[in-house]
Amino acid sequence: MDTLLQGLLEQHGVTRQIERHRVLELWPEIVGQQLAEVTRVKGLDEAALFVEVRSSAWLNELSMMKDAFLERVNERLEDAPIERIVFVLAETA
């Protein structure tokens, strides 16, 4: 029964998406404390990681470094790589 369910979840990509969600907890470790303080993982949409950034200056800086971050993320998520990272400016209330 477990094998059948596991096969069904893998067939529909659920297992892969669950593995990708590990990045939510790994993000601070991947980017380091300083960047973790100015960013927040907002979520995942299929194979894209959305990261909220505190200021436009940080948004510009991190956008230029997104390939390096993508590589570091995918080193941790070997079986479920993310295809792109999208940095967005945090909304202020």
pLDDT (tens digit, 9 = 90+) per residue, 39-77? 999 988 878 999 999 999 999 999 999 999 999 999 988
The domain made up of 2-89 has a fold known as GMP Synthetase; Chain A, domain 3 (3.30.300)
Q: What is the pTM of this model?
A: 0.79
Query: Does residue 79 or residue 68 have the better pLDDT?
Result: 68
* Cβ 59 vs Cβ 71: under 8 Å: no
Q: Which residues of 27-43 are buried (b: 16+ CB within 10 A; e: fewer)?
A: beebbeeebeebbebbe
Give yes or no for residue 17 having a pLDDT over 70. Answer: no
Amino acid 3: pLDDT: 81
Among candidate residues 60, 3, 58, 48, the one with its CA nearest the CA of residue 23:
48
